[in-house]
C-alpha cells in the first residue's frame, strides 16, 4: 500500500509540474495564433508538426514509452490547434461578392472559424483590410484557363497589403436559371467576366448573349430576383441552393481541369524561416525603357538561384505605354541569397516592391 501511495504522490507532483508547463506552452501557442492571424496563415502546419513529433520521439529512449509519448504529443498539439481556432474565431475576412461566390467558398475552406464579410468588389475588400475593418482579404489572383485577375494584380502594385498564403481551388461552373425554365428558353447569360471567359465555348455553341456582372453569386442573386425567365447565370452549384435556382447544366467551362488560385492578404508580412522548403516569392518591378533592361533583371533573378515561374506585364494606369512586371519565383527572399538578389535588382529597377513570401504547400491547404 505504501508503494502505491508513493507512486501516486510522484504522479501528483509530475502533474503539478506538467500543468505549469502546459500553461507556458499555451501562452506560446497564443502568440503563434496572433502571428498567424495577422498574416492569414493556416493554423495547421503539417510540416512543422511532423518535425515536432520526430524531435519528440528522439527525447524518449525507451521504444515502448516513445510510442505512447508520440500519442501524447499529438493530443497536446490537437489541443493547441483547438485553442488557436478559438482565439481566431472573431477574425473578419473580406471577400468580393456574396454568399455562394467562389471567394466565399475559399474563405470557408481557409478560415472556417472566421466571419466572412462580403464586399461589392475587389477594391472594397482590399480597402477594408487596409483601413482595419477586416483582418484579412481572400481574393482571386489567377485562373488556370483565363489567366491572371488583373484588377487584383493592380491592387498589389498600388496597395499596401502583403500576400502571405495561396490556395488552389477547383472551380465548377454551372448554368443556373429560375425553377421551371428549360435550357432552350435561355437567351442571355450573366456572370463575372472571368466566368464568361471560362465558359466561352459553351456560350458560343448555344448562341447566348452575354452580360458582365460584378460577381458570379451576385449574378445568380439577380436572376433569382428578376422577372425575366430567359436570363441565366453562370455561378456555383452552392449559389443555386442559396438563391433557389435550378441547375440547367454543370461543368460548362471549356477546360476540364478548371481551378482558381486565391491569395490571402493582410497588413503584416510573413517571413518563412530561411531553412523552409517549397517557398515562393512574389514581387513587382519596373525597369528603364531601354534595350536589355528587362533581360538584366531576369538574369539577376536566375543568377541567385531563383527559378522564375511567372513573369507578366501590366500597364501602369497613370503613364501611357509604360508597364510594370509581376514576378513569382521559387525561392525565399528572406535568405541571404534573396537579400543579395533584391540589392542587385535595386540597381537595375526603377521600382521594386516585395508583395509577399508563401510556402508552396499552402496552395493545396
Q: Exposed/middle/buried for 65, CB within 10 Å: 0-12, 13-18, 19+?
A: exposed
Residue 82 phi, psi dihedral angles, 5° rounding: -60, -40
Question: What global pTM score does this model have?
Answer: 0.75
Contact 83, 32 (CB under 8 A): no
Structure-block grid coordinates of residue 151:
484588377
Mean pLDDT over each residue of the chain, to the nearest integer? 90
Q: Is the per-residue pLDDT at 134 higher than 80?
A: yes
Q: Is the per-residue pLDDT at 294 higher than 90?
A: yes
Q: Is the per-residue pLDDT at 362 higher than 70?
A: no
Q: How confident is the model at residue 365 (pLDDT cuts 50, 70, 90)?
A: very low
Q: For residues 52 and 242, which has the higher predicted lDDT (pLDDT)? A: 242
Q: Is the per-residue pLDDT at 84 higher than 70?
A: yes
CB atoms within 10 A of CB 106: 24
Residues in a beta bridge with 249: 175
Q: pLDDT per residue over 307-341, tens digit each?
A: 999 999 999 987 788 999 999 999 999 899 999 99
Q: Which 8-state DSSP code applies to residue 360? A: G
What is the mean pLDDT of the segment spanning 294-303?
A: 96
- As a whole number of Å, the CA-based R_g of the chain is 25
| Domains of the chain (ranges, CATH numbers) | 2-39+44-87 (1.20.59), 92-166 (3.40.190.10), 174-252 (3.40.190.10), 271-365 (3.30.70.260)
Predicted pLDDT at 299: 97
How distant, in Å, are the alpha carbons of 189, 190, 231 from that of 209? 6, 9, 9
Residue 342 neighbours by CB under 8 Å, 6+ apart: 283, 333, 352, 354
Amino acid at each position: 500500500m505504501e508503494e502505491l501511495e508513493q507512486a501516486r504522490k510522484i504522479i501528483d507532483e509530475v502533474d503539478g509540474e506538467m500543468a505549469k508547463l502546459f500553461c507556458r506552452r499555451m501562452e506560446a501557442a497564443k502568440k503563434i495564433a496572433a502571428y498567424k492571424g495577422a498574416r492569414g496563415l493556416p493554423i495547421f502546419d503539417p510540416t512543422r508538426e511532423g518535425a515536432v513529433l520526430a524531435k519528440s520521439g528522439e527525447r524518449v529512449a525507451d521504444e515502448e514509452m516513445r510510442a505512447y509519448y508520440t500519442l501524447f504529443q499529438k493530443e497536446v498539439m490537437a489541443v493547441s490547434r483547438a485553442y488557436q481556432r478559438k482565439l481566431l474565431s472573431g477574425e473578419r475576412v473580406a471577400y468580393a461578392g456574396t454568399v455562394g461566390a467562389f471567394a466565399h467558398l475559399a474563405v470557408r475552406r481557409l478560415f472556417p472559424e472566421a466571419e466572412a464579410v462580403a464586399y461589392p468588389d475587389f477594391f472594397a475588400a482590399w480597402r477594408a483590410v487596409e483601413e482595419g475593418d477586416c483582418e484579412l482579404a481572400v481574393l482571386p489572383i489567377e485562373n488556370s484557363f483565363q489567366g491572371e485577375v488583373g484588377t487584383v494584380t493592380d491592387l498589389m502594385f498600388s496597395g499596401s497589403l502583403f500576400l502571405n498564403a495561396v490556395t488552389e481551388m477547383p472551380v465548377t461552373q454551372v448554368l443556373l436559371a429560375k425553377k421551371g425554365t428549360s435550357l432552350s428558353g435561355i437567351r442571355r447569360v450573366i456572370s463575372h467576366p472571368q466566368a464568361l471567359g471560362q465558359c466561352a465555348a459553351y456560350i458560343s455553341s448555344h448562341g447566348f448573349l452575354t452580360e458582365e456582372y460584378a460577381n458570379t453569386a451576385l449574378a445568380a442573386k439577380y436572376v433569382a430576383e428578376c422577372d425575366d425567365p430567359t436570363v441565366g447565370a453562370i455561378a456555383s452549384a452552392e449559389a443555386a441552393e442559396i438563391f433557389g435556382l435550378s441547375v440547367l447544366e454543370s461543368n460548362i467551362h471549356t477546360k476540364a481541369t478548371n481551378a482558381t488560385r486565391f491569395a490571402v492578404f493582410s497588413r503584416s508580412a510573413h517571413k518563412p524561416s530561411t531553412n523552409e522548403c517549397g517557398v515562393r516569392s512574389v514581387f513587382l518591378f519596373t525597369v528603364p525603357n531601354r534595350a536589355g533592361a528587362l533581360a538584366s533583371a531576369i538574369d539577376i533573378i536566375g543568377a541567385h538561384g531563383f527559378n522564375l515561374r511567372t513573369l507578366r506585364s501590366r500597364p501602369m494606369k497613370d503613364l501611357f505605354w509604360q508597364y510594370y512586371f509581376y514576378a513569382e519565383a521559387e525561392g525565399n527572399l528572406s535568405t541571404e541569397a534573396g537579400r543579395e538578389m533584391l540589392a542587385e535588382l535595386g540597381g537595375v529597377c526603377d521600382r521594386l516592391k516585395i508583395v509577399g513570401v508563401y510556402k508552396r504547400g499552402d496552395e493545396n491547404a
